[in-house]
């Protein structure tokens, strides 16, 4: 409870400070919204040329885009600040967090909170809404309920991916760039049906980094598509469980990293 209060306090301070540079705030909010929109423009342009990709229609790909990017953007907006960890460790400012009487992760996500990151959430949620209206599906309660469930588990999965990939910095220096490959790369990967990717690439980035559970597998259920690519049908419903496991792993890795942490000594 004290944690939640501290978080609200820190976030409030950040929002007020962001609000000081108002023109810049709107520029950044709009730019981040447009930035992620261009990915969808690419989807539209691609479907101008072909009616389907790997047998998926534009509405179905838009559904993948909407669910995948909304989850990634929500994770980015809430936990994304953890990407400052590699720089904090390198610069030695991470020490400062450890001497304060509050969890380090909480301080980081409160300290670097940025309201403008929600531009992306707004944009992808709109696309998701349009996609839900456009897909050809016999809606049932179970299918409809799967959508919020996959957003929640997808957000948790991306949250874990953000934490684990940035925790690598506790053992190796200068890892911020590499972390982008699974955080932003994962978000990008989730926008298209997995069948387009090569087999080993799919195994590495969709299964080992569990992106397939973010949206592809539950989407197979929602969109009434057959389970393919060697996945078992029950996996379509496993996302919440996988997300929970991922969060536990992420918490462990983070705790291990903190314990392993030796200051730069400079």
Chain residues in the site for other proteins (CB under 8 A): 21, 23-28, 30-32, 34-35, 38-39, 41-42, 45-46, 48-54, 172-181, 185, 188-189, 192, 196-198, 201, 205
Q: How many helices (H) and strands (E) does the chain have?
A: 12, 0
Least separation in angstroms between CB 127 and other proteins = 15
Residue 56: strand, helix, or coil = strand
Task: For the CB of residue 27, give the shortest distance to other proteins in the complex, in Å.
Answer: 3
Q: Among all chains, which residue has been given the structure tokens 């004290």? A: 2
* Sign (positive or negative) of CA dihedral 202, 207, 211, 217: positive
Least distance (Å) between residue 138 CB and other proteins: 27
Give the integer Cα–Cα distance in Å for 252 and 265.
25
Instruction: Kindly state the DSSP code that residue 229 receives in the 8-state scheme.
Output: T
Assigned token pair, 197: 């990717």
- Quote the DSSP letter at residue 24: H
Nearest approach in angstroms of CB 204 to other proteins is: 10
Tally of CB atoms within 10 A around 170: 21
Q: What distance in Å separates the CA atoms of residue 198 and residue 246, rounded to the nearest whole number?
A: 25
Compute the least distance from the CB of residue 43 to other proteins, in Å.
9
Residues in the chain: 266
- Supply the minimum distance, in Å, between the C-beta of residue 1 and other proteins: 35
Cβ atoms of 116 and 19 closer than 8 Å: no
Q: Are the CB atoms for 62 and 130 separated by under 8 Å? A: yes
Task: Name which of 24 and 140 has its Cβ closer to other proteins.
Answer: 24
């Amino acid at each position: 409870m004290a944690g939640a209060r501290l978080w609200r306090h820190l976030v409030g301070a950040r929002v007020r400070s962001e609000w000081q540079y108002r023109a810049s705030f709107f520029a950044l909010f709009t730019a981040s919204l447009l930035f992620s929109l261009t990915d969808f423009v690419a989807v539209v342009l691609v479907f101008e040329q072909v009616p389907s990709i790997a047998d998926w229609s534009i509405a179905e790909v838009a559904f993948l885009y909407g669910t995948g990017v909304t989850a990634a953007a929500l994770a980015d907006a809430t936990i994304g600040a953890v990407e400052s960890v590699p720089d904090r460790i390198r610069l030695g400012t991470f020490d400062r967090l450890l001497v304060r009487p509050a969890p380090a992760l909480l301080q980081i996500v409160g300290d670097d909170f940025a309201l403008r990151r929600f531009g992306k959430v707004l944009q992808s949620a709109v696309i998701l809404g349009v996609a839900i209206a456009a897909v050809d599906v016999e809606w049932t309660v179970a299918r409809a309920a799967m959508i919020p469930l996959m957003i929640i588990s997808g957000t948790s999965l991306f949250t874990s991916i953000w934490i684990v990939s940035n925790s690598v910095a506790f053992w190796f220096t200068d890892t911020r760039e590499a972390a982008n490959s699974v955080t932003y790369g994962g978000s990008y990967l989730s926008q298209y049906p997995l069948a387009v990717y090569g087999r080993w690439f799919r195994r590495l980035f969709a299964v080992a980094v569990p992106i397939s559970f973010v949206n592809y597998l539950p989407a197979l259920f929602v969109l009434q598509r057959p389970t393919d690519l060697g996945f078992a049908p029950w996996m379509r419903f496993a996302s919440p469980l996988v997300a929970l496991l991922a969060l536990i792993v992420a918490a462990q890795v983070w705790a291990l990293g903190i314990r392993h942490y030796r200051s730069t000594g400079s």
